[in-house]
Amino acid sequence: MTKSELIEKLSASQPQLDDRDVELAVKELLEQMSSALAGGDRIEVRGFGSFSLHYRPPRMGRNPKTGAAVEVPDKHVPHFKPGKELRERVNNL
Amino acid sequence: MALTKADLAEALYNELGLNKREAKEFVELFFEKIRASLSAGESVKLSGFGNFDLRNKNPRPGRNPKTGEEIPISARRVVTFRASHKLKERVEENAQSKSEDFNNQAELNAGSR
In degrees rounded to 5, what are phi and psi of residue B40? -85, 5
Predicted pLDDT of residue A92: 83
The full DSSP string for A23-54 is HHHHHHHHHHHHHHHHTT--EEETTTEEEEEE
Q: Please name the member of A16, A80, A87 whose beta carbon is closest to the beta carbon of B81.
A: A80
**Cβ-defined contact of A90 to B98 (cutoff 8 Å):** no
Q: How far apart are CA B19 and CA A16, in angstroms?
A: 12
Confidence (pLDDT) at B71: 92
| CA–CA distances in Å: residue A46 to residues A50, B49, B65, B99 | 8, 20, 27, 31
Percent of chain A with pLDDT over 90: 94
Q: How many CB atoms lie within 10 A of CB A36?
A: 19
Are A53 and B91 a contacting pair at CB < 8 A? yes
Q: What is the mean pLDDT of chain B?
A: 89
Q: A74 phi and psi, to 5 degrees? A: -65, 155
% of chain B exceeding 70 in pLDDT: 83
| 8-state DSSP, B57 | E
ipTM of the prediction greater than 0.85, yes or no:
yes
Asked if B94 reaches chain A (Cβ–Cβ under 8 Å), the answer is yes
Picking from B4, B15, B30 by the largest number of A CB atoms within 10 A of its own CB, the best residue to mutate is: B30
Q: Which of B15, B39, B83 is opposite residue A89, by nearest beta carbon?
A: B39
Residues B55-71 have pLDDT tens digits of 999 999 999 999 999 99
> pTM to 2 decimals?
0.86
Contact B8/A21, CB-based, under 8 Å? Answer: no
Residues 6+ apart with CB under 8 A from B51: B43, B44, B45, B81, B82, B84
Q: What are phi and psi for residue A73, nearest 5 degrees?
A: -70, 160
Q: Which residues, given as ranges, of chain A have pLDDT below 70?
A: 93
Question: Of B56, B19, B42, B81, nearest to A43 (Cα)?
Answer: B81
Tens digits of per-residue pLDDT, B70-90? Answer: 999 999 999 999 999 999 999
Question: Between A and B, how many residue pairs show a Cβ–Cβ distance under 8 A?
Answer: 152
Contact map slice: A 22-81 vs B, CB within 8 A: 24-26, 28-30, 32-51, 53, 75-80
Host H or E run for residue B101: helix B85-112
